[in-house]
Amino acid sequence: MIFKEEKVFKDPVHKYIYVQDQLIWDLINTKEFQRLRRIRQLGTSFFTFHGAEHSRFSHSLGVYEITRKIISGFERAAYEDWPASERLLSLCAALLHDVGHGPFSHSIEKVFKVMHEDWSCRIILGDTEVNEVLRRVSPDFPQKVANVICKTYEKPIVVGLVSSQLDADRMDYLLRDAFFTGVNYGTFDIDRILRVVRPYQGKIVVKESGMHAVEDYLTSRYQMYWQVYFHPVTRSSEIILRKIFLRARDLHQQGYSFGFFLHPLDDLLANTLTVEDYLRLDESFIQTTFMQWTMEKDPILADLCRRFLERKLFKYVTLDQVDEEAVNELKSLLDSLGADSTYYVEMDFPTDQPYDVYQPGGSKEKTTPIYLLTEKQELVEISHVSEIVRSISGVHKGKVQLFYPADLLAKHRAAVTPSVAKLLGS
């Protein structure tokens, strides 16, 4: 059902988000989608950029809106290469692609080896309100939506709209994260991008004259990586978060009796969550748990939780090269001070990150690269013609950073050996 008069959401990034279909409206009103309001888009980045408190709810609406605009451009121009019947499927996949995100996903995924895409599909296919709404279209519609999200759908052009190197997901989060952090490096001319994308032979491609607009989008992306996503203060808070979960899991396995322990924490720690349990997890639950754990008798768990809530993070030092011996000395020192170095030191290698400003494609990459459509109707992968894109493509080696509790060492200055002092640059 198409609304006679479209419904709108006021959105600070896109001004308005337009809903034209009852189906989309109903999906937004499911409890699984509403839950995304309680999960931040940027995890712990708000500790670095206090404006970054926006949720995955608003991002998901934004991805939907960009997809809607792209498709409606395709429809206006009546491009033959766009399969018009895939409109609703594309919109649903765009809206729901992040519905499986849990609280502080990036940190939790690392510890518990779960993937939010898998959870998105489990939620779409499970006994949920989302599934019920989707089934109204047809019995196999939920499966189709899941296939688009998991990139196994038969028509790659639909997958590419939601997941490619120039997809609605990336376009929205760059603009949105730039807006809320206040870091305006991330803005690019989305109106221009929307004017130059075309469906062509099963792909979303870009008119050659739009090359500079894509360069601008990719350099914005590059800037956001270094200014925001890789910011060491954010890394520090993520590390503390991971250490809390590690400590809790270790304690749980050791049979420690928690003062506060609410279901489904047990299943989370044991990695045996059901869909129903998973949906009960949100960032309120995690923060409330941490607040209670500040009163645990285990000093490490209590201290780490306090650090997280009160933003008493680890400091970091950037290392040109790693002096293993000095690091070991630092660890022993912390161990001796009661700060078990398993939980109080971390070496961070930025190249471990999924640093994919742009991947020109090849045998190993999974994500479709960006193609330009020349006036002669040929496709050229953008890094072949743009030197600036080439310069930011591929893997870039960042520096090693060492995170540690500087406050603790400050209290025991006498115990700090010269080589540790040198390591920490103090």
CA 339 to chain CA centroid, Å, is 31
Answer yes or no whether residue 403 interacts with its own copies by CB under 8 A: no
> What does the block give as tokens for 387?
């030197």
Contact status: 50 vs its own copies (CB under 8 A): yes
Q: Dihedral (C-alpha) 150, 154, 155, 160: value to the nearest 10 degrees?
A: 20
Candidates 109-117, 149-157, 208-216, 358-366 — which segment interacts with its own copies by CB under 8 A?
Answer: 208-216
Binding of its own copies at residue 135 (CB under 8 A)? Answer: no
Instruction: Choose, by CB under 8 A, the member of 7, 155, 208, 226 that binds its own copies.
Output: 226
Verify binding: residue 324, its own copies, rule CB under 8 A: no
* Nearest to its own copies of 104, 153 (CB atom): 104
Asked if 31 interacts with its own copies (CB under 8 A), we say yes
Instruction: Report the alpha-carbon distance of residue 336 to residue 344 in Å, rounded.
Output: 12
**Residue in 1, 262, 385, 410 binding its own copies, rule: CB under 8 A:** 262
Nearest to 121 by CA among 152, 147, 151: 147
Q: What residues numbered 74-133 form the site for its own copies, per CB under 8 A?
A: 77
**341 near its own copies (CB under 8 A):** no
Are β-strands 203-207 and 371-373 bridged in parallel, bridged antiparallel, or unpaired? parallel
Q: Based on CB atoms, which residue is closest to its own copies, 159 or 269?
A: 269
- Nearer Cβ to its own copies (250/277): 277
For residue 405, count CB atoms less than 10 angstroms from its CB and return exposed for 0-12, middle for 13-18, buried for 19 or more.
buried
Identified binder of its own copies from the candidate list 107, 164, 219, 359, rule CB under 8 A: 219
Q: Are the beta carbons of 40 and 283 closer than 8 angstroms?
A: yes
From the number of C-beta atoms within 10 Å of its C-beta (0-12, 13-18, 19+), residue 25 rates as middle
Q: How far, in Å, CA of 268 to CA of 266, rounded?
A: 5
Does position 351 bind its own copies by CB under 8 A?
no
Window contacting its own copies (CB under 8 A); options: 118-126, 148-156, 184-192, 239-247: 184-192
Q: How far apart are CA 142 and CA 51, in angstroms?
A: 35
Residues 358-387 that bind its own copies (CB under 8 A): 387
Query: Of 64, 58, 92, nearest to 167 (Cα)?
Result: 64
34 lines the binding site for its own copies (CB under 8 A): yes
Backbone φ, ψ for residue 50 (5° rounding)? -65, -15
Does residue 58 interact with its own copies by CB under 8 A? yes
Give the interface segment with its own copies, choosing from 43-51, 86-94, 268-276, 409-417 (CB under 8 A): 43-51
Interaction of residue 209 with its own copies, rule CB under 8 A: no
Does position 227 interact with its own copies (CB under 8 A)? The reply is: yes
β-strand partners of 10: 16
Largest CA distance in the chain: 75
Q: With binding defined as CB under 8 A, does residue 165 bind its own copies?
A: no
- Looking at 80-180, which runs of residues are DSSP E strands? none
* β-strand partners of 207: 373
Q: Are strands 203-207 and 346-348 parallel, antiparallel or unpaired?
A: unpaired
Shorter beta-carbon distance to its own copies: residue 115 or 309? 309
Determine the distance from the C-alpha atom of residue 205 to the mean position of all C-alpha atoms in its chain, rounded to a whole number: 25
Binding its own copies (rule: CB under 8 A), the pick from 21, 42, 43, 46 is 46
Q: Minimum CB separation from its own copies for residue 253, in Å?
A: 25
Q: Is 274 in the site for its own copies (CB under 8 A)?
A: no
Q: Can residue 179 be called a binding residue for its own copies (CB under 8 A)?
A: yes
Nearer to its own copies, 310 or 324 (CB): 310
CB closer to its own copies out of 9 and 151: 9
Q: Write down the least CB distance from residue 159 to its own copies, Å.
A: 26
The span from the CA of 375 to the CA of 409, in Å, is: 64
Q: What residues form DSSP beta bridges with 316?
A: 403
- Token pair 């989302």 in the structure block, residue: 130
Least distance (Å) between residue 290 CB and its own copies: 9
Question: Is 16 among the residues that bind its own copies (CB under 8 A)?
Answer: yes
- Both tokens of residue 313? 């993070």
Q: Which residues pair with 373 in a beta bridge?
A: 207, 379
Q: Which two tokens stand for residue 415?
A: 């115990």
* Residue 229 touches its own copies, criterion: CB under 8 A: no
> Phi and psi dihedrals of 166, rounded to 5?
-140, 60
Binding site for its own copies (CB under 8 A): 4-5, 8-13, 15-16, 29, 31, 34-35, 37-38, 46, 49-51, 53-55, 57-58, 61, 77, 179-185, 187, 189, 191, 195, 212, 215-216, 219, 222-223, 226-227, 262, 280, 282-285, 287-288, 291-292, 306, 309-312, 387-388, 390-392, 396
